A and B are shown apart, each in its own frame.
Chain A
Amino acid sequence: MTFRELVTALHGMGFGAFFLLAFSGALFELHRVCTSKGPSDTCKGDLRLLRAYLIAMCVLGWCAVLSGAYIVYPWYRAHPPAGLADLAEYSQRKLLSSPATSGWHRFGMEWKEYVAWFAPIAMTMVAYVIIHYGPDLAKHRRVRNAVFVFAAAAFLAAGVAGVLGALINKNAPVQGGATMILMGGTK
């Protein structure tokens, strides 16, 4: 495994995938807090745990987009030296070199690189509102509905970015850097 492959995996399968996985828990807890009958029904320990969970989720979301934009994406969009025939380490150029794969960049990456940012923006707002209001959110139906819509939008945006990222990386993997052997072969 090369260094760039490892960092790309950390970006997508580490930060991104854990962020997506965390949505089920966040939506469940949001529903639970909103349907509780007040502070007596939602103990302080639960709220502390929920606060930590939502903050961790936001950190994962921001780490995913920042590592993607400032570490992995520059490798993806790097320009090869003139005349280079092997474009294996230049994913964007490799995709654009064939009409059969150019759509992965022109549609896939062009959408993914921007829509992914909606997820941490929306989730930060969702986390702030849930933490700020706590069980009182049950008394604000319209606020609660808006929070649910933005949480769903964040999930969809992260899902689109994750699926497109995985498919783009399958067609033109980000490669290069030092080679690391994580697992040896068997005798």
Chain B
Amino acid sequence: MNDRRAEPEGPSGAAVPNGAAAAAILSAGAGCFFLGLFAWLGDAFHAVARFLVFYGPTGPLSGVTTTGILIWLASWGILAKLWRGKSLPMGIISVVAFMLLGMGVLLTFPPFGDLLQGK
């Protein structure tokens, strides 16, 4: 996945790898997707909704958002470690991140969620 030919140079003339940005961008997309997925699962299945009640007064929203945020931060940490100092094909990573973000938004959109559930 490394492609050092297209690596831009920083002010000192040293190469500026895009690995840190790629990790942040892809994990943000993943976080949004999983947040949307858990929101949809909680809406579709009562057992999942009950499992996602981490804080009673807030209901399943507490578990959906906490789990989504934990996945976002964990994936960010892992990818940042794996991709530190590397340059990656940003085009593919951006497209995947946009798709994850878009699917996350769709899964939270009630008419789309109802459609998937056959309501």
Contacts and interface: CB of A to CB of B under 8 A. Distances in A.
B115 to A, nearest CB: 13
A129 to B, nearest CB: 5
A111 B8 CA distance: 41
A98 interface: no
Nearest to B104: A118
B62 interface: yes
B24 A38 contact: no
Interface residues of A, number: 39
A91 B11 CA distance: 56
Contact of A147 (B25, B39, B58, B108): B25
B69 A136 contact: no
Contact of B59 (A77, A122, A149): A77
Contact of A146 (B35, B68, B94, B111): B94
Contact of A139 (B9, B59, B97): B9
A125 interface: yes
A10 B16 CA distance: 42
26 contacts: A65-B65, A70-B57, A70-B62, A73-B58, A73-B61, A106-B110, A111-B110, A115-B105, A115-B109, A118-B101, A118-B105, A121-B69, A122-B101, A125-B27, A132-B21, A136-B8, A136-B10, A136-B16, A139-B9, A142-B90, A143-B25, A145-B94, A147-B21, A149-B94, A150-B25, A153-B105
Interface residues of B, number: 43
Nearest to B65: A117
Given A74-B57, A149-B98, A107 B110 contact: yes
B83 to A, nearest CB: 13
A115 B105 CA distance: 7
Interface of B: 8-11, 16, 18, 20-22, 24-25, 27-28, 31-32, 35-36, 39, 43, 55, 57-59, 61-62, 64-65, 68-69, 72, 90-91, 93-94, 97-98, 101, 104-105, 108-111
Contact of A140 (B8, B57, B98): B8
A114 to B, nearest CB: 4
A29 interface: no
B39 to A, nearest CB: 4
A68 B7 CA distance: 42
Contacts of A140: 8, 16, 18, 21, 90
A162 to B, nearest CB: 16
Contacts of A111: 108-110
Interface string A78-103: 10000000000000000000000000
A135 B32 contact: no
A110 interface: yes
